[in-house]
Amino acid sequence: MKALVFDGFGGPEVLSVRDIEEPKRSKSTVIVRMKAIGLNFADVYRRKGNYHLVGEPPFILGYEGAGVIEYVGEDVQHVKVGDRVGFADAPHANAELVSVTADKVLPLPDGISFETAAAVLLQGLTAQYLTDDSHPVKKGETVLVHAAAGGVGQLLTQMIRMKGGQVIGLTSSEEKAAVAKKAGADHVFLYGSDWVDSIKEATDGRGVDVVYESVGQTLMNSFEATKTGGTVVFFGMAGGDPEKIDPRMLMDTSKALIGGDLWNVLTTHDERKRRTAELFEWIISGKILIDEPTLFSLEQGADAHRLLESRKSTGKILLKP
């Protein structure tokens, strides 16, 4: 089978498509022929050597995707050959065939396409736990969303609005600002501006209640934009590693810093099913809208990584075997 692989850490140029052995069959797994694969910043971190990575060279990126089951292990009962399924947390997704353990495979309901599943599972479940678990958004709260035109940013914005919150978005361009406003942001400011001052002005000098921080290098600015007693939820570092935080600053300002990682939430099959069912219901009912993703072939994987790192993309990028 073909897979997008790399042997050593580095830039997008280390990626190439190669023929490798098909995944081994086992009693507790299924093998999925991939139809759509989600690309995420975590894949960039792994390619650079900054994040956990499963296996030995040649490494295969990707944890999210959707396709059709071609093999079912004898101990697997809840799916069968031919079922349409997706997954959000199984490694080696950047390949034509992927082995997925039974507890991680999720049947797709009617109305959810392969592309939608691959575009929304990881980012949608991330936005869901951030607004439900890391900081449960309350009606009337004002929330700052970084990278508001990105895949997670658009979903966060819609979920915050669904819960009765107001959204201030940050983007890198006017074009992206329009995307964030379309998703429901009440105000959008640009990274190149004095956005902390603009946020203070928009909140009558108080600052926001909550920040969902995914850039990393802007972490201290996020604290500046947060009200006394507010919360910063740190869940990504797309712009580079953050500064070290002095706990004395947190004490003096009564502010909270919370970390979030999806892997600490998706711990059982029942938990995956519950959260995914809620997410799919929001999409099917129209409460959450998903933009058309940007598509690349598996052979164009390096170009897909370049686009994601350029921060010029909006919404989700998918790889198609």
Tell me what pLDDT residue 312 has: 77
Tell me what pLDDT residue 241 has: 81
CA pair distance 220, 239, nearest whole angstrom: 13
Tell me what pLDDT residue 296 has: 98
Q: Let me know if the fold of 2-121+265-320 is the same as that of 139-259.
A: no
Tell me what pLDDT residue 315 has: 73
In the chain (321 residues long), the average pLDDT of successive 10-residue segments reads 97 97 95 97 91 90 97 94 95 97 94 95 95 96 95 95 98 94 97 96 97 94 97 88 91 95 88 95 94 94 94 85 95
Provide the residue ranges of all domains of the chain, joining segments of one domain with +: 2-121+265-320, 139-259
Residue tagged 């990575």 (tokens): 53
Q: What 3-state class would DSSP assign to 271? A: helix
**Which string of DSSP letters, residue by residue, matches 296-315?**
EEGGGHHHHHHHHHHT---B
* Helix ranges (DSSP H) in the chain: 41-48, 114-129, 151-162, 174-183, 195-202, 219-224, 247-253, 269-284, 301-310
CB of 149 within 8 A of CB of 182?
Answer: no
Tell me what pLDDT residue 105 has: 95
CA pair distance 149, 160, nearest whole angstrom: 14
pLDDT in tens, 147-184: 999 889 999 999 999 999 999 999 999 999 999 999 99
Six-digit token pair at 265? 């939430």
Tell me what pLDDT residue 189 has: 98
State in words which class domain 139-259 has. Answer: alpha beta
CB of 234 within 8 A of CB of 242?
Answer: yes
CA separation (Å) from 281 to 107, 153, 233? 14, 19, 26
CA separation (Å) from 233 to 54, 144, 230? 27, 10, 10
CATH 3.90.180.10: does it fit domain 2-121+265-320?
Answer: yes
CB of 193 within 8 A of CB of 210?
Answer: no
CB of 74 within 8 A of CB of 27?
Answer: yes
Contacts of 259 (CB under 8 A, 6+ apart): 233, 234, 235
Tell me what pLDDT residue 160 has: 98
pLDDT in tens, 4-43: 999 999 999 999 999 999 999 999 999 999 999 999 888 9
Contacts of 10 (CB under 8 A, 6+ apart): 47, 48
